[in-house]
Amino acid sequence: MKVENPEKWTAETPVLYTVLLTLKNSKGEIKEIEQTKFGFRKVEIKNSKLCINGQPVLLKGVNRHEFDPDLGRAITEDSMIKDILLMKQFNINTVRTCHYPDQPVWYDLCDKYGLYLIDEANIESHGMGYGKKSLGHDKSWQAAHIDRVVSMIERDKNHPSIIIWSLGNEAGPGMNFQACSKKIKELDSSRFIHYERMNSVTDIDSVMYPSVQSLIDAGEKKSDKPFFICEYAHAMGNAIGNLQEYWDAIEKYDRLIGGCIWDWVDQGLRKNTPVGNRTTGIDYKPESLAPLKKGEYWAYGGDFGDLPNDKNFCVNGIVSPDRQVSPKLWEVKKVYQYVDIKSDSLKSNQFVLSNKYNFINLKQFTVKWSLKENGKLIQNGEFNAPDTSPGNHSTVVIPVNNPELQSGAEYWLRIALVTKADNSWSEKGHEIAWQQMRMPYKVPETSIIKTADTKKINLEENADSIIVRGNNFLVSFSEKSGTIDEYVFNNNTIINKSTDGQINGPLLNIYRAPVDNDRYIRNKWLEFKLNNLKREVLSLKISSRENNSVIIKSLIKYSGKTNSYFEQETTWHVLGNGNIIVNNKITPHGDFPDLPRIGVRMFLPDKLNHVSWFGRGPHENYTDRKLSADIDLYKSSVDDLFVHYVKPQANGNHEDTRWVCLTDNKKNGLMITASNLFSFSALHYTDNELHAVRHPCKLKKRNDVVLCLDYRQAGLGGASCGPYTLEKYRVKPQSCEFIFCLRPYSVERGTESTIAK
């Protein structure tokens, strides 16, 4: 039957037709009727590009195992739809069915909602290696190889969502894969072949976990074959660093057609603590993808008495077992977004919208914009996106009125595109792309507070402490600790008096609980005792004093491995208004490896549980995973800043912070500002406590707030299975100067933004 010019199926426009098959006997009587959905589309390789219906596409993908935290591999249709909706909403357009063909209904759903599929045969002999023992070389296994490939093709060949056949995964090269490739070409010439272990028998070159540089090298190589990353950005734990750098390369070179992140979902199973809810047994019917309840946790290798095991190596998804959205997924959405929004001229409020869709015109979206002053909304609006066909761009003018500029303020313009109407995978108003830009206004400088304008202070020096008293504050420094021993403002305690077991004032902090991507350097950190540096106070003395201020200097040595140590020279400038300017000069000595961080840590009273900050958020972010986190004014609680990774590790960091403020229920507390951007985290656990347990339910919540302020913290990289952190995101053991100001805060002093100036 010939069909004239049908509407074409793509992942962006999944148009399906109903095919009706009627079986009649010789008398013309209907005996049976069957129907199926069918989509028309054409897959080609042109000039080393992968094309759908003549248009070159990029595969913005993930690998997906069939997994349910309660039902294991027996997944439900509801969970499949949940996965697809999340993928579509977060700009994912491709799934590799690692490492086997999926349930038949999955393909129906991908046809319906629109996802490109790399359908993978159930062939893996990873444990046999890739050498002579690989089953791919053994002729006696050839029929088994071919049977699995043919079975996949014959079952799935009518699905338009499938654009690539994969011969399997990590089963080595060999004659059997040559035979499989030949057989596929006999059966189906409409699709192309992928197999990472033997690119010589495929239509597409493929690798796993390349470095950014090796990807660039592949892009520069002359070849007629497209180049695809079947696995990259290993999402194990707190991960997916430098995703943007991968996509800068992919979008630069024609033969690079994208990649699939490893992988979609954490493969953790619901389990109970000894005192938890009993939810096992033949009558147990779990709610589909239900969040964890009290007494439950996500179990992994070793939690069932199983030996040997891979520990948490299968806990490497972008989403949690119950499909909760993670900070990682927000970064994926941002990097994968289909519209670039760039300034043409900030002064004239002109911006260029570049359409990176292949089949969608931007006119089906609404442009929404807002202008904020230090996080406060002062202008906003919306208008229809201009007629912009795929691959083209348009210039828009955002009708921003020049605001009345406030001294020291920052003005951030945010432009977003949202859907105009409901569709199969999102509601009206769903945001598909956004960009934030700082406006180049010439803002008046803030006035500098002179020490002469502050109130008189009194100084008391004892054998073991230095005490500074003002009209409404007290701060004491300990000879034993070399830091603040107590800090009180308006009879509200900001830093509790230290005890023999814990020093609460700011001290040097170099360690972080290793994230899974730190696996190859964490032992060096422990070898150099970064988690337990030995502290020696070399001096604490009054440097100078005036009626309205006093300067105290301390010098502390922190020793790790033999002949390797840090020196922290701190100048404490205490002002008459209770503020303390803290200047840290940190110098490493010895042959330290790359560091987790350089900063300070202090312990604040548990009552200071309310956190507000001006910087990146609302979700956690790191130097190499922060594009999705806008600069804005945020409010949270210490409890909510904790990120529940299946295996506890460093979490909750926030980059590019201007100020952070922690307060109690009466809005009294402590604000920290800095001369330069810094990062912070505020949790109820230390990094040593995070590293010591296998599950969040094993953590014992502290009766204080662990506040970390960082001059710099290392990026996340991808080294749990892949390359180490990019050079520009590493923390080298080099001297630095970290200056910040401790400011007692109360609502009577003004708003946080006002006080922070």
Supply 597's token pair. 């961080």
Contact call for residues 433 and 417 (beta carbons, < 8 A): yes
Residue type, 37: K
Q: Is the peptide bond before 610 cis (omega within 30 degrees of 0)?
A: no
Residue 36 host element (H or E): strand 30-38
- Phi–psi pair at 403, nearest 5 degrees: -80, 165
- Those residues whose C-beta lies under 8 Å from the C-beta of residue 718, and which sit 6 or more positions away, are 209, 232, 233, 234, 239, 240, 241, 242, 517
Cα separation, 445 vs 756, whole angstroms = 13
| E-only strand ranges, 247-358 | 256-261, 269-272, 296-299, 339-345, 350-355
Supply 563's token pair. 């002949």
State the sign of the Cα–Cα–Cα–Cα dihedral 517, 521, 523, 527: negative
Residue type, 516: D
Cα separation, 174 vs 131, whole angstroms = 9
Contact call for residues 603 and 706 (beta carbons, < 8 A): yes
Contact call for residues 370 and 377 (beta carbons, < 8 A): yes
As a whole number of Å, the CA-based R_g of the chain is: 30
For residue 29, indicate whether it is catalytic. no
Rounded to 5°, angle at Cα 103 from 101 and 104? 100
Point out the catalytic residue in the list 66, 120, 124, 231: 231
State the sign of the Cα–Cα–Cα–Cα dihedral 279, 280, 282, 287: positive
Alpha carbon distances (Å) from 184 to 60, 191, 245, 418:
25, 9, 35, 42
Give the alpha-carbon dihedral of 585, 591, 593, 598, to 10 degrees: -10
- Those residues whose C-beta lies under 8 Å from the C-beta of residue 133, and which sit 6 or more positions away, are none
Q: How many CB atoms lie within 10 A of CB 37?
A: 16
For residue 170, indicate whether it is catalytic. yes
- Phi–psi pair at 527, nearest 5 degrees: -60, -40
Residues 111-121: b if buried by 16+ CB within 10 A, e if exposed: bbbbbbbbbbb
Alpha carbon distances (Å) from 142 to 149, 172, 506, 543:
11, 13, 66, 82
| 600 beta partners | 508, 709
Give the relative orientation of helices 142-156 and 175-187 as an angle to the nearest 10 degrees: 30
- Those residues whose C-beta lies under 8 Å from the C-beta of residue 104, and which sit 6 or more positions away, are 155, 156
Cα separation, 298 vs 267, whole angstroms = 9
Cα separation, 489 vs 225, whole angstroms = 68
Residue type, 478: S
Burial class (CB in 10 A: 0-12, 13-18, 19+), 256: buried
Please name the residue that has the structure tokens 């690079």.
256
| Beta strand pairing call for 256-261 and 227-232 | parallel
Point out the catalytic residue in the list 66, 120, 170, 689: 170
Q: Helix (H, G, I), strand (E, B), or coil: what is residue 369?
A: strand
Cite the active site residues. 170, 231
